[in-house]
Amino acid sequence: MDVTWGSAEAVLADNWIGASTVPSRGLYPHQWSWDSAFIAFGLRHLAPERARRELVTLFSAQWRDGRVPHILFNPDTPPEAYFPGPAFWRAGRTSGLIQPPVHARAVLAVHRADPAGSGAETFLATLYPKLKAWHGYLRTYRDAGGRGLASIVHPWESGMDNSPAWDGPLSRVTPVDPAGFVRRDLEHGHAADRPSDEDYGRYVRLASAYRDCGYLDERWADVDGGFTVEDPGLNALLADAELALAEIADVLGLPAAAATHRESAARVAKALQETLWDSASGFFFARDVRTGERTREYTCAGLLPLVLPDLAVAPALVATATGPRFRLGEVHGVPSYDLTAADFDPGRYWRGPSWFNVGWLVRRGLLHHGEHALAAWLRDDLVETATGTGFAEYADPFTGTGHGARSFGWTAALTVDLMS
Ligand code: DGY
């Protein structure tokens, strides 16, 4: 057996907690929503029944309004291991926020890896209505801007917590006094690799405000000092998820439903291009719904629309990706932030380092748009960097040095997927 494959498999075995996988034993000791989807892409090659279990477990925590919570807490993990835990959220065994909708694509891939096992467990038929309700939640409750795009109400919902794109909208949020809570993340990660205390104070303020309005999106617009942003990454992944749902409906013999999902994907993709694309810059920027202003930071979320096969502006976006801001094909992976920005930081979370899930998504996009040589280069680079860093959470784009957690779940899983 290949050493890389074997060590990635060992990470996934160590992080398995019986019905799901923790992203990291120390830093993230529960189940996280988009982590689980990425992890399932790898698990399907190793143990398809575990990949199915991973996703079924996550959807067992779905809320009645359709949202899939961003954390499903493990009752066996001591409360002091992670902040903010269940006592903070007051939402039973979950948080009240969401993460990007990469699940439909994962469900389809997991089904295809083992159609017989999936059929025997009625995996697709069980998850199809849940995925439909999840996308329905995003397309209705979260369409705060009224333009057919889903909004996030907290930076954690983008999955890219301290992305510089959130600095503008976050500046209106008053941080909670750091003495009022204990950051458990700093017990496992270097402070220089993690969000600042000031950012954390703002995350806590926003999460408590959303909790205190009962997680009711219709009330959120009236909450002063709130955060409501249209993120190009999340919306691109939503359009892609609707395309995956159409394929799932086809497999289930539901052609009319499949056509509806394709129309919905086209609507989201059109709104994305009309609202968030800036042709002069050749880039997708986030939009602050509360001010109507587009942010101006070039972050990796703006490259994620490449996952859409019919993206008319793909050549211009690839040009930005390979230009001086991201230097795709020259540096390691896909930097999370503009390499030319004065505040680019190669080690701090989403303010510069390259993340493996983003690299994996961008590679998929490159394949859609005929960039086969670049996609092959990125694949080799991701596998080499993941292995060389002990499956780090993220890496310095210039040196390939690992940062954040090691033995990180999706880094190991996506490495297995890239090698398959
Ligand atoms: C964290 O705890 O850092 C997460 O990103 C929030 O979900």
**Mind listing the pLDDT tens digit for each residue in 51-85?**
999 999 999 999 999 999 999 999 999 989 999 99
- Give the global pTM: 0.98
pLDDT at 26 (0 to 100): 93
Q: Which residues contact 216 (CB under 8 A, 6 or more apart)?
A: none
Task: State how beta strands 71-72 and 31-32 pair.
Answer: antiparallel
Phi-psi region of 292 (alpha: psi -120 to 50; beta: other; left: phi over 0): left
Give the per-residue pLDDT at 337: 98
Q: Which CATH number fits domain 3-419: 1.10.357.10, 1.50.10.10, 2.130.10.10, 1.10.10.60?
A: 1.50.10.10
Ligand 1 atom, smallest distance to 83 CA? 2
Q: What residues are in contact with ligand 1 under a 6 Å CB criterion?
A: 70, 156, 161, 185
Ligand 1 pocket: which of 28, 68, 73, 394 to mutate (most atoms within 8 A of CB): 28
Among the listed residues 82, 80, 104, 88, the one whose alpha carbon sits nearest the alpha carbon of residue 32: 82
Q: Cβ distance 108 to 115 under 8 Å?
A: no
CA of 170 to the centre of ligand 1 (A): 16
Chain-centre distance for alpha carbon 417: 17
Strand partners, 328: 331
Which residues does 297 contact at the CB level (< 8 Å), separation at least 6?
163, 164, 165, 167, 285, 337, 338, 341
Taking the C-alpha atoms of residue 22 and residue 26, their distance in angstroms, rounded to an integer, is 9
Sketch the domain layout of the chain as residue ranges: 3-419
pLDDT confidence of residue 189: 82
Per-residue pLDDT tens listing for the chain (420 residues): 688 899 999 999 999 999 999 999 999 999 999 999 999 999 999 999 999 999 999 999 999 999 999 999 999 999 899 999 999 999 999 999 999 999 999 999 999 999 999 999 999 999 999 999 999 999 999 999 999 999 999 999 999 999 999 999 999 999 999 888 889 999 988 999 898 999 999 999 999 999 999 999 999 999 998 999 999 999 999 999 999 999 999 999 999 999 999 999 999 999 999 999 999 999 999 999 999 999 999 999 999 999 999 999 999 999 999 999 999 999 999 999 999 999 999 999 999 999 999 999 999 999 999 999 999 999 999 999 999 999 999 999 999 999 999 999 999 999 999 999
**Distance from the CA of 213 to the center of ligand 1, in angstroms?**
21
Q: What's the gap in Å between 360 CA and the centre of ligand 1?
A: 20
- Catalytic positions: 161, 393
Residue to probe by mutation, ligand 1, list 161, 188, 348, most atoms within 8 Å of CB: 161
In this structure, what DSSP letter does residue 335 have? B
Write the pLDDT tens digit of every residue in 387-414. 999 999 999 999 999 999 999 999 999 9
